[in-house]
Chains A and B, each alone.
Chain A
Amino acid sequence: MDMSQYIEIFIEETKEHVQNLNQSLLQLEKNPGDMVILNEIFRVAHTLKGMAGTMGFTKMAALTHDMEDILQSIRSGEIKISTKLVDILFKCLDAIETYLNAIISSGNEGDFTGEEVVNTLKKIIKEKKIDIDIESQSESAKEVKNVVIQPESGSTSEFAPDIYEQNVINKAKEMGINSYKITIVLSKGCVLKAARAFIVFQTLERYSEIIKSVPHVEDIEDEKFEQEFTVVVVTKENEQLLEKELYSISEIDTVIIKSMPATSADNGQVKKEVTKKAETGVKNNKEVVEEVTKEVATEEDDLIKRNMEMLSEYEADIENTPITIKSAVSAATNAKGVKTGKTVRVDIDRLDALMNLVSELIIIKTRLEGIEGIHRTQNYNEAVEYLERITTNLHDAVMKVRMVPVEVVFNRFPRMIRDLSRETGKEINLIMSGEETELDRTVIDEIGDPLIHLLRNSADHGIETPEKRKQIGKALAGSIFLRSYQEGNNVAIEVEDDGAGINIEKTKKKIIEKGIMTKDELNALSKKEIMDILFKPSFSTADKVTDISGRGVGLDVVKTKIEALGGVIEVETEHGKGCKFIIRLPLTLAIIQALLVLIGEEKFAVPLSSIREIINIDLKDIKLVQKQEVIILREHVIPIIRLDQVLEVPKTENDLTQVTVVVVKKGEKLSGIVVDSLIGQQEIVIKSLGKLLVGTKCIAGATILGNGQVALIIDVNALA
């Protein structure tokens, strides 16, 4: 079968799953006992295995299979989750990514064997098996463990409803609704067990609510059971009816229906029971090797303590929420249900095509507005206005489709910071907020690298070592904040750390050393301006070059990238307290509001977002400072840029006494650009100048005016 048509879907989905696993693993590391997370990880790993197997990527399938084995052991409590184990699992993910990258570039898994990881996995599986043998001698101890870690154990024949389920059963009893435990044994010759089980479930659901199933529904669907399975249902019907209905299904061997008792409802009693069980467990262990007993006992103490905590939590839960039987039941059945969003996966190229069409529409709309020599009636004007509203809405709608939450970029950072923190031996917390802030897809794709750079900078140079932090009285663990929020037509992303900050004096010294500026020149600069030098090419303040950052690729790269995206970056720092980088990015890249100006005979567009104000200035008010033309605007000296000179526009003779100056913001500074006349404000569609001309000085792109003419967009930041 030809799989090539599925390869792209496979790649996309694998990426998603790996990301998902990364996140879940981090969560699991923080809450080692959380079965929900563990089950989620298991489910995703299983899906990955299935996908890789179907596509014929055997190495990937084998690796995920081994991962699944380990996860299964964790699930059953045979292996404990430790940082080391999580490390290994992370390495597995890295290996999967390596495979995936090879698949993307060459279509097969490549030469990378991932042998090391596979061997480690195999070793763990094998070694833990030995541990299990010892453990199994203390059956009762294991039982206790099962009660705690795995309340919904799917593999053992032990069938104790957990407290939550017991609560549902009790409530049902109170309301006069029956609870039954039904064991269904399929006949030996049954071929499609999963399908048969499905019919059983369907039948049961007609008359009752299923609150529990052993093995799990997912396992049953995957035919991971022998001949029988057991479910717990609550129903208004009696057992005879259920029995009759179940026997009417073919290939059913036996149906055993038992009423579920509404006992052990009292949490105190459960607590007692558990404690008692644990005690007997310890007693029985006497026969086992002394060492093992000890180990198990301490483990049990720990477990009992945790169990108590869990119980009191449940207690609080039950007290606080008067659950009706209906919601409790549906919650119990839906708890494992997978969220299904109403989404469609669309190729970005199609969106681009759509965007282009919208752009065309806007151009023709502008043209319609500007048509001369026709008789304009009120009707005509209304129609044009209506068209304008629709195109604006359409534009917004298409833009929204292209918007992606920054989460897509952010969610790989927790893993990165975790690794960095282990690499550097520093304790680092990453605190993220505003992940739901949306940005254009094209920006999202580009913003990852600069952010990685900044985060690495913070982790490597910013945050001090724990010893140093202790010395200066800071919290041992350093914090890096990654925030994102919308700010008018911009999206701001902040990377802040509470580390050492930037040492201005050291920076100054470095600047002088590198011969970028002299001491006198430096002293004349403000703190802000000195900070700007940090973004100059090949400026790095780190004393030692480490593996993590400081390889000479400095902040200038970050700045260049951000500016290429039409954004700005600034830095705020206080020595000893920390450092904050703020990136501001435009929401959309494709369509902007611009002011059209005339210079000589040529039309240019200036992005409205960078314009501060427009003033008329008498020629005699233009002064010269060090051969630079300046004007004084409200006591601020603003340099003047003659656009006709910068843009080499052919001279036109004029003898005006006044000129129009458009005051623009260049980063933090203001400049005045002299134009011949203003045409007006217009919504313009930014088009690339094409490969041959991209990167042309002072020109950010081109746009097509209503009359079909091409106007160039001025890159305000690049104006000299």
Chain B
Amino acid sequence: MEGQAITSNQFVIFRMKNEEYGIDIQKVTTIEKLLAITRVPHAPEAVRGVINLRGEIIAVVELAEKLHLGNFTKSDDNRIIIFKIEDLSVGFIVDEVVEVLTIPEENIENITQVSNDVAIDYILGIGKIRGKIVTLLNLDKLVVLK
């Protein structure tokens, strides 16, 4: 496990399909309900469009599609998690935000032991806590992913 990649051990846990994922809470700016999304033609894959977040235009990405999980399930629980990497703000559409969890380092397992999938480098590790299994995502890698 690369210790320096995680700056705190708190994660925002969200659900897509039936799996739970987590991202470092320090990167998250805000979590919004599904706002009106304006489609952008010729946008890269999985980019649904742009939203107006209090005067700022922010691109939103459908995370499920990005992770090849198929389309998200539309419901009132849908949320857009807005986060910031350097000066780039991006929103991720997720099925549902579940909770915020503190996962101690010893409960995070290096992914290489579990799988040898190609998409592996945007997965930071697998968190295990209270019998739950959470896939922790590496945002920096996820955003540059074409």
Contact = CB atoms under 8 A, between A and B. Distances in A.
B42 A710 contact: no
B88 A699 contact: no
B88 A710 contact: no
24 contacts: A602-B38, A602-B39, A649-B41, A689-B50, A690-B50, A690-B57, A690-B58, A690-B88, A692-B61, A692-B88, A693-B40, A693-B44, A693-B59, A696-B40, A696-B43, A702-B57, A704-B57, A708-B36, A709-B36, A710-B49, A710-B50, A710-B52, A711-B38, A712-B40
B38 A690 contact: no
Contact of A708 (B39, B52, B61, B87): B52
Chain B CB within 10 Å, residue with most, of A359, A602, A702: A702
Contacts of B94: none
B88 to A, nearest CB: 5
B28 to A, nearest CB: 17
B3 interface: no
B55 interface: yes
Contacts of A699: 40-42
Contacts of A649: 41
Interface string A690-707: 111100111100101000
A383 interface: no
Contacts of B10: none
A648 interface: yes
A704 B55 contact: yes
A171 interface: no
Given A602-B39, A699-B41, A702-B57, A692 B143 contact: yes
B58 to A, nearest CB: 6
A662 to B, nearest CB: 18
Q: Which of B38, B41, B58, B89 has the most CB of A within 10 A?
A: B41
A691 B88 contact: yes
Interface of B: 36, 38-44, 47, 49-52, 55-59, 61, 87-90, 143
Contacts of B41: 646-649, 696-699, 712
Interface residues of A, number: 27
A708 B50 CA distance: 12
Q: Which secondary structure characterizes the binding site on chain B?
A: strand
Nearest to A356: B55
Contacts of B52: 704, 708-710
A646 B41 CA distance: 8
B36 A702 contact: no
Contact of A712 (B38, B61, B90, B143): B38
A360 interface: yes
A363 B55 contact: yes
Contacts of A704: 52, 55, 57
A364 to B, nearest CB: 10
A692 B88 CA distance: 8
B143 to A, nearest CB: 7
Given A696-B42, A698-B41, A710-B50, A690 B36 contact: no
Contacts of A691: 87-88
Nearest to B35: A708
Nearest to B90: A692
B52 to A, nearest CB: 5
A647 B88 CA distance: 25
Contacts of B42: 648, 696-699
A597 to B, nearest CB: 14
Contact of A692 (B36, B38, B59): B59
Interface in A574-603: 602
Nearest to A603: B38
Interface in A631-649: 646-649
A687 B43 contact: no
Contacts of B57: 687-690, 702, 704, 710
B38 A360 contact: no
Interface in A368-413: none
A145 B56 CA distance: 69
A710 B59 CA distance: 11
Nearest to B58: A690
Nearest to A363: B55
Given A690-B57, A696-B43, A704-B52, A709 B38 contact: yes
Interface in A207-248: none
Contacts of B58: 690
A712 B56 CA distance: 14
Contacts of B87: 691
Nearest to A364: B55
